[in-house]
Structure 1
Amino acid sequence: MPRLVGRAKRMRPPEQLRSLDLAPRHLSLLSLLLLDGPQTVSQLADRLSVAPTTASLIVSELSRKGVLERREDEADRRRRIIDISEKSRTAVSQWLSPGAHAWRQALQPLTPAQRRLVIDTLRGYEAAVAELSGAVD
């Protein structure tokens, strides 16, 4: 596990993103948007297991930097949809796609039951670390 985390930390962002001081919290949010598409702040908060205000702060920070954009939800004009801006999409994809492709490549030969075991094990590890460190979700 330390090698996996270390390798992820060494993934340097593309030149376009380097000056933006992106932190792990940004990486997680950008990964969700890149892999799962546009979402609301509430959906992002739920997926990241953070308070909606925390997700909103991260979205605001990345929006000010031009990495994200907000648009009205056509189905409900009171809601805003968050997405990676067109000017940043290529750089974000270049940065984060290798990790997603690596996971797909590693999990592809496994049976669905084996994949479930890997995911459940990683979630168990995450829960144990949170419990032992006193972190609260």
Structure 2
Amino acid sequence: MSTQTQTAAEIAAELFDHYRAQDVPAMVAMFKPEGIVEYVPFALAGPVEQVGPGSWGVLIDSFPNLSNSIHSITGDASGRKAWIDVDISGTQAKEAFGVPSKGHAYNLRHLFVLDTDENGKITHMTAFWDNVDWYRQLGKETID
């Protein structure tokens, strides 16, 4: 469980451990109740209780072997902000986010930015990735 002694970099490592374990409730619990999740390529942002379980749950359901591999976690001098360079991968078993399943696998580099508060809770998480490459890897022929 996150504590005030954890840096944002340590919190990020714990969050991605939970993500790798596909433990959505544990991921949500790492955020302040009013914490924001923002997925820039999807133009999606909102409270963790709405955006987190919906997006993470769909990904886990549609990509049952969904996993991540962290390249690096860099924290700022305050210990309250972290940048995470991570590959997220999986093999599609069902339709997800308008992409019909063709059984393709993907491995896509992401950048996450985490902001945390003095109590060790995530206040804001922003994610960036190349959506066109993700669609290409999954065999989607047109980009909406």
TM-score by length of 2: 0.27
Structure number having the greater helix percentage = 1
